[in-house]
Structure 1
Amino acid sequence: MAQTVPATIKRTATAGERVMFHTLKDYLPDDYIVYYEPEIHGRRPDFVIIGPDLGLVVLEVKDWTIGTIVQATKDEWVIFGKNQQQAFEKNPYKKAEEFTFHIMNHLKQDSNLINAEGKKKHHLKFPCGYGAVFSRLHTEDMTKHSLYNVISPQFCFARNEIAPDHEDFSEEILIEKIVNMFKVNFRLREPLSQNDINAIRGNLLPEVRISADYREPVPHQDQILLSMHNLKTMDIHQENYAKNIGDKNRLIRGVAGSGKTLILATRAALLARENPDWNILILCYNISLARYLQQLIDIKVEEINQEGHQDSLFDEEEPDEPTGKIEVFNFHALLKQKLKISEDQLESLTLSLESNNQLIEKYDAVLIDEGQDFEPEWLKLISNLLNPSTQSLLLVEDRAQDIYKRKRSYIQDIGLNFQGRSKILSINYRNTQQIVRFAWEFYQRNSMLEDKVVEQGFEGDIIAPKTTPRKGPEPFIYKVNNFKEEMQKVSQIIKKLHEKENVPYDEMVILYRVKRLSSKDYIGTIQHTLKQQDIPHYWISQDPESKRNYVKNDNQVKISTIESSKGLDFQAVFIVNVDNMPFFLQEDENREAALLYIAMTRAHKYLSLSYSGESKFTEYLDEIKDELRIEKRDSV
């Protein structure tokens, strides 16, 4: 996943710009940077892409249709503009060319970016290319109407080449075309260094940095804290709390693995049972886990219905009592499927709801999982979907897992005060004592939020986990020479756990921070190694479709980004390539520490961290390895 600046595309962007933004973000290597509409010394190209093995590429996006285009030449196009008036537009390819030359002129002023000798003396040390994107024209349209005569296929994208949901789309072709968008065949002998890339960024956009203000929205951030097979082993006080949580608005704050989501699911099932005429909404932020959460709700509804009929076992003819309707959505699916709006229409719908000018059926109860990841604007909309006569809103959160740093005041955002209506869950039930201690010590040592950690608290505090009842092996830390060896070691342990410890394949997951860099294909190595070892596997975070189709119990080892794993838990977790953390393009180290903490706390019993390089986090792990070695020696 490439780094994007800004992190999210603005609401006024065209449909084509939105498609291109998400495609570049999702499919370019992780060490690529994509700027959308950067202001570069008075000019605003649509996209500027910077890659270590690429150089720089500028793209101009047009949402024109065949019906829009009157005439096209290599220099100028005639189109139907507003009110069907003909307008003259520069050839988009030429426009991208102008932007590129403008950028090159400014970069040449930095001697660090210029070749000091050789045939390319006084030229930039990296190539600059450019191209056009036609987001509403297919390659058939381009061919049929001779548009490739005025723009070579090498230098432009058609709709079917940028839209992942199109059958012709190919990640390989996308990257190949971008890599070849250069008039002069100038390939880098060595990748650009991080200093080179920082110099390019600093010269083009001195006011823009990927820093602590950078917030990456990931459309799959909900947490199901307990896997399906473990539901009935939970502590009874959590079930009791769900049943006696009280009415109106409530807030549950808890550590990872404390059962927040189980309480939410049980609460939803109870509300449906007690209020058959209610419409109940459950919201999360994770595409793949919305479906999983639906399965969890179904189980809890069935359990509660069975419990309700225990006293009437002899009345076999008695029909089941009706239950309220429960709908489960991730937030963006709610907008698209239920409210029939796009995110840029969110503000206007909220204003309309606030003034009672919009006839939308209200929900009698709303339950939100992972509330710390919701934007204030989202919460404001949700509060306006809530029946004011019930005010039944349950919000659960864990701010130690806040990787987006949403700034909010619940009173201001949703008009509800949770003071005196909140519950703190500080006991971790998922992980072993060894994993909890290991993960929490890492988080405290490497997070800048340690001054906000408290035993009990309300807004703004991180809750420290208390003792967990289960014990297990210490986390396994190892360093090897390269990533190939790392994956060979991981596959050996997976085989051993499966064959010797009877751990099902679908109870194991491999978590990665970086999918691929311009010089390394990590995901390719992961898949190739597992295939060689005949280990069945499923890549959860390959694309939105793979997230939607995720099934836990399918006898396959899972592969996932850390972000996508935030709603999952497994008996065994393998965090690979830790030397890519903190990721060098992400300057917010606190976010990186939170990510690794999240990854560690996915594990029920077995936790493995491996690396072949060095980083701030691996230096910490090296220290821990030495401490564990000394402890083991002294105990002998």
Structure 2
Amino acid sequence: LAVITGSQGIQSKKRRPTKNKNSKAAFLRKVEEKIKSFDIQQHKVAVQTPAGPQRIRGLAGTGKTVVLAQKAAYMHVKHPDWSIVYTFYSRSLYEQIINYITRFVQEFSRGELEKPNWDKIQILHAWGGSQQSGLYQQLTATMNTDFRNFKNAISYFGTSSGRVAFNGCCGELLEHENEIPEFFDAILIDEAQDFGENYFRLCYNLLKQPKRIIWGYDELQSLEELDIPTAESLFGKNIDGNPLVSLDGVYPGEIEKDMILYHCYRNPRPVLIAAHAFGLGLRRIGGAVQFINTVGGWQDIGYEVEQVNSNELITGQEITLYRPKSNSPHLLEELVGYHNLIQYQNFENRGQELEWMINDIEKNIKEEELKPDEIAIIALDSRKKIAEQEYDYLYKGLENKKIQSVRIGTDTSADIFRSQGCVTITSVFRAKGNEASVVYVYGFENIAKSSDIVRQRNMAFTAMTRTKGWLTITGVGEQSKLLFREIQGILEEIGRVKFIVPDMNKIQRNLETYENQRRRKRTQKAQKSLAQLLKDRADVNPEDLPLDQRKKLLKWVLGNDKDIDSLLSDK
């Protein structure tokens, strides 16, 4: 596919040769030497330009950020006069997005463009502040309205939640909806689960027709909101009472309004399965806290459901989820072994835990030949004062080992996740959307301490899925031991998780929606039609099909970026 489409995906810089053929660096070298290219589904999504709103969903590691960056770059190359915005909440994504879009613009222009025209394609933090401009900040200036920074908004709206405060800020601008200018031809929103409905509505109003708003979404990485928003709840209704945005059906060119990515490329299979099952609580002693209660829902995200005869899962039934290797095609599992990519360490106190991590990081650098900037430490305790003290301990401890590190937002800009030659020390919130070859998630006992079980489990899921290689989880006391046993139970059988279907009346969050079910029915209907077409193909001469139908079929199979007319004229 890479040769046919010219899409090489994300290529890493060539890794230096290693001394030890069995070091982690040596295994990563083998992984990186394997050509990385997007699958047909990803390429198809990347080169589509929808004639209106489009949602792209997928678990962590399925490539949502890369696909959104490709879409932005593709539109910029094909429509250089368009005004395009790529926006997000986590500031540490900023540098990564610039690099992605620059690289993809070079690729799609076949080297004719060295860099994007940054006047036409803007990468903007949603909020903005003194160090970095943001979409909301720019709009307040345009509308001659007071800009509320984070501190002011938290105080004004009487909340400790940045999400709630920002939603309030956007709501204030929407009170003057008629004054919002239609500036842009396309807006792409990454990590869209971080935003409330008012930011979506603000972006919608900023767009020219046909309101080309494209958002990437993963409900399991929502760290503050329990409800799964539908398009109607995000964008509201028009004056006639009809939804402003519907994700039913397709756009011209057979471009789907609602896309799901189910192949996971970042995380090795055991990491994704462990993080996902733990996040939902499938093997939790008290039962699951989040759940998908249909076979189709699990298939959407790359699982097979075994021992089941109907689409709806029945309370009390023992079932087995299986994730095929083809949906998590990561070479490390084959090189290292399924059970050798995650380790757990329990300690009597935090001091022992931090000291052990410092020593283990030294071992990873000296013996495993990893570079410091391939390593990230993620804290699960979000209390600012405690986190700062622990970050300081880690920073000084690594410094004593002559290992450089950076505390995001303290030693470096909050816009940068990875600094060359430095271990990254950060919180879950600033780690979102980023990755490292080796990830340490510490303070795991905090997952059991909060009454907000779903939020804590989502934090664990987000932190665990930052690794593209090895994962180390550490904690203190009996609570972390119990949580580690839960994860070990999840990973007992390679690629499979056995559990009891929970009572849907008792879970805290249902991840299945009517929107998803409708999409699945449309897909099943299309598959039946295609199966019938293939069955009847012996009686049909393609030359007898009308030209417009042949063009539509070729565009659907090959993608909208292909010159179909020249393909047909060659025949």
Task: State the partner residue of 1:597.
Answer: 461
1:487 to 335, 354, 359: 354
Task: State the partner residue of 2:70.
Answer: 266
C-alpha distance in 2, partners of 1:534/1:614?
Answer: 34
SS at match of 1:244: coil
Task: State the partner residue of 1:432.
Answer: 268
Q: How does 1:117-136 map to 2 (within 5 A)?
A: none
Cα separation, partners in 2 of 1:535 and 1:562, compared to 1, 3 Å: same
Cα separation, partners in 2 of 1:245 and 1:278, compared to 1, 3 Å: closer
Using CA pairs under 8 Å that are at least 6 residues apart, name the structure with larger relative contact order, 1 or 2.
2
On the 8 A contact 2:289/2:453 being kept in 1, the answer is: no
Cα separation, partners in 2 of 1:297 and 1:232, compared to 1, 3 Å: farther
Identity %: 23
| Deviation for aligned residue 1:457 | 4.8
Task: State the partner residue of 1:578.
Answer: 444
Task: State the partner residue of 1:8.
Answer: none
C-alpha distance in 1, partners of 2:297/2:208?
Answer: 29
Task: State the partner residue of 1:539.
Answer: 407
C-alpha distance in 2, partners of 1:477/1:255?
Answer: 23
Task: State the partner residue of 1:249.
Answer: 53
On the 8 A contact 1:579/1:612 being kept in 2, the answer is: yes
* Bigger CA radius of gyration: 1
Task: State the partner residue of 1:336.
Answer: 137
Paired amino acid for 2:197: P
On the 8 A contact 2:70/2:101 being kept in 1, the answer is: yes
C-alpha distance in 2, partners of 1:254/1:349?
Answer: 31
On the 8 A contact 1:272/1:324 being kept in 2, the answer is: no
2:196 to 375, 378, 401: 375
Q: How does 1:380-529 map to 2 (within 5 A)?
A: 380-388=201-209, 390-405=210-225, 407=227, 408-414=229-235, 415-420=244-249, 421-445=257-281, 446=284, 448-452=288-292, 456-457=296-297, 467-470=327-330, 471=333, 472=336, 473-514=340-381, 521-529=389-397
C-alpha distance in 1, partners of 2:89/2:175?
Answer: 23
Paired amino acid for 2:232: I
Task: State the partner residue of 1:37.
Answer: none
C-alpha distance in 1, partners of 2:366/2:106?
Answer: 34
C-alpha distance in 1, partners of 2:12/2:293?
Answer: 31
2:170 to 314, 330, 346: 346
RMSD: 3.4
On the 8 A contact 1:571/1:603 being kept in 2, the answer is: yes
| Deviation for aligned residue 1:426 | 1.4
Cα separation, partners in 2 of 1:455 and 1:569, compared to 1, 3 Å: farther
| Deviation for aligned residue 1:452 | 2.6
Moved over 4 A (4+): 225-232, 319-324, 446-449, 453-458, 461-466, 515-520, 623-631
Paired amino acid for 1:432: P
C-alpha distance in 1, partners of 2:302/2:400?
Answer: 43
C-alpha distance in 1, partners of 2:220/2:139?
Answer: 31
Cα separation, partners in 2 of 1:249 and 1:307, compared to 1, 3 Å: farther
C-alpha distance in 2, partners of 1:518/1:552?
Answer: 23
On the 8 A contact 1:364/1:391 being kept in 2, the answer is: yes
Cα deviation code 1:230-257 (max 9, x no counterpart): 7972424223431136432211110110
C-alpha distance in 1, partners of 2:466/2:57?
Answer: 18
Cα separation, partners in 2 of 1:618 and 1:380, compared to 1, 3 Å: farther
Cα separation, partners in 2 of 1:440 and 1:349, compared to 1, 3 Å: closer
Task: State the partner residue of 2:529.
Answer: none
Q: How does 1:14-29 map to 2 (within 5 A)?
A: none
SS at match of 2:432: helix
Task: State the partner residue of 2:19.
Answer: none
1:619 to 455, 476, 482: 482
Cα separation, partners in 2 of 1:455 and 1:270, compared to 1, 3 Å: farther
SS at match of 1:362: coil
| Deviation for aligned residue 1:307 | 5.5
* TM-score, normalization by structure 1: 0.55
SS at match of 2:470: strand
SS at match of 1:266: helix
Task: State the partner residue of 1:285.
Answer: 89
Cα separation, partners in 2 of 1:609 and 1:551, compared to 1, 3 Å: closer
Cα deviation code 1:2-42 (max 9, x no counterpart): xxxxxxxxxxxxxxxxxxxxxxxxxxxxxxxxxxxxxxxxx
C-alpha distance in 2, partners of 1:630/1:402?
Answer: 28
Paired amino acid for 2:346: K
Matched length: 387
SS at match of 1:578: coil
For structure 1, which runs of at least 5 residues remain unmatched after alignment?
Answer: 1-224, 310-318, 632-636
Cα deviation code 1:372-408 (max 9, x no counterpart): 22111111111100112x3211111011112221643
SS at match of 1:442: helix
1:233 to 20, 36, 48: 36
Cα separation, partners in 2 of 1:476 and 1:612, compared to 1, 3 Å: same
On the 8 A contact 2:49/2:75 being kept in 1, the answer is: no
| Deviation for aligned residue 1:516 | 6.1
On the 8 A contact 1:427/1:468 being kept in 2, the answer is: yes
| Deviation for aligned residue 1:367 | 0.6
SS at match of 1:339: helix
Cα separation, partners in 2 of 1:618 and 1:427, compared to 1, 3 Å: farther
C-alpha distance in 2, partners of 1:322/1:540?
Answer: 29
Structure 2 residue 456 is matched with structure 1 residue 555: no
Task: State the partner residue of 1:147.
Answer: none
Cα deviation code 1:573-601 (max 9, x no counterpart): 0011212223x3x4211110010011111
C-alpha distance in 2, partners of 1:437/1:251?
Answer: 24
* TM-score, normalization by structure 2: 0.61
Cα separation, partners in 2 of 1:500 and 1:629, compared to 1, 3 Å: farther
